[in-house]
Chain A
Amino acid sequence: NAGVTQTPKFQVLKTGQSMTLQCAQDMNHEYMSWYRQDPGMGLRLIHYSVGAGITDQGEVPNGYNVSRSTTEDFPLRLLSAAPSQTSVYFCASSLEAGGLNEQFFGPGTRLTVL
């Protein structure tokens, strides 16, 4: 099993550009989520999905869109990048929603918006 994979590992964008961060898992997990990590602030939940076709907003959803057309993939789209979106983005998955299963994290995408 590859676990949770994320691409790209690094990305530099200009303000106003759009892009999609890719996330995939091969563990047949129902629950997937996106976090951003900023210095001194822990990880904050952006969006999550409890299964294919179902997504919901987390704590900091503004400026981001997600979709879940398959169990395996959960891409995160930045619609119009802003410097405030400079961060490290982690995708995670767990067997089910509900918080009683460990989360498996991808290696992260380091995004800089100029």
Chain B
Amino acid sequence: GQQVMQIPQYQHVQEGEDFTTYCNSSTTLSNIQWYKQRPGGHPVFLIQLVKSGEVKKQKRLTFQFGEAKKNSSLHITATQTTDVGTYFCVGYQKVTFGTGTKLQVIP
């Protein structure tokens, strides 16, 4: 079945450093979504990517969808303490959540 893996599982960064999480699917995806979950909270939608090679930006966040539509990445520039949380990708053909990357930002 479809599997979606994310790396790294955990990441500690100093405030101001950049951060990247990668999402890899075992099958070609129709689209991918990214969610953020704050500690003790629920997932909140960030963005959706549909087209092969698509790149979208939200302020300090840059999202990419691979050419083969089997991988994606989320890059955060100059992390802030408000970026703390777990970032999930969600792959669609059959909805599958990635394993998540937990980000800790050290002030």
Binding site for B on A (CB under 8 A): 33, 35, 40-45, 59, 90, 92, 99-100, 102-108
Contact A105 B97 (CB under 8 A): no
Interface residue tally on B, bucketed by range: 20 to 34
B45-66 residues with Cβ-Cβ distance < 8 A to A are: 45, 48, 50
A-B contact count (CB 8 A): 49
- Most A CB contacts (10 A, CB to CB) among B41, B45, B92, B93 go to B45
Smallest CB gap from B100: residue in A:
A42
Contact A41 B44 (CB under 8 A): no
B60 to chain A, nearest CB (A): 20
Partner of B45, one of A45, A59, A104: A104
Partner of A99, one of B9, B95, B100: B95
CA distance A56 to B103 in the complex (A): 34
Residues of A within 8 A of B99 (CB): 40-42
Q: A90-B42, A90-B43, A99-B31 are in contact. Are A42 and B97 (CB under 8 A)?
A: yes
Residues of A within 8 A of B35 (CB): 103
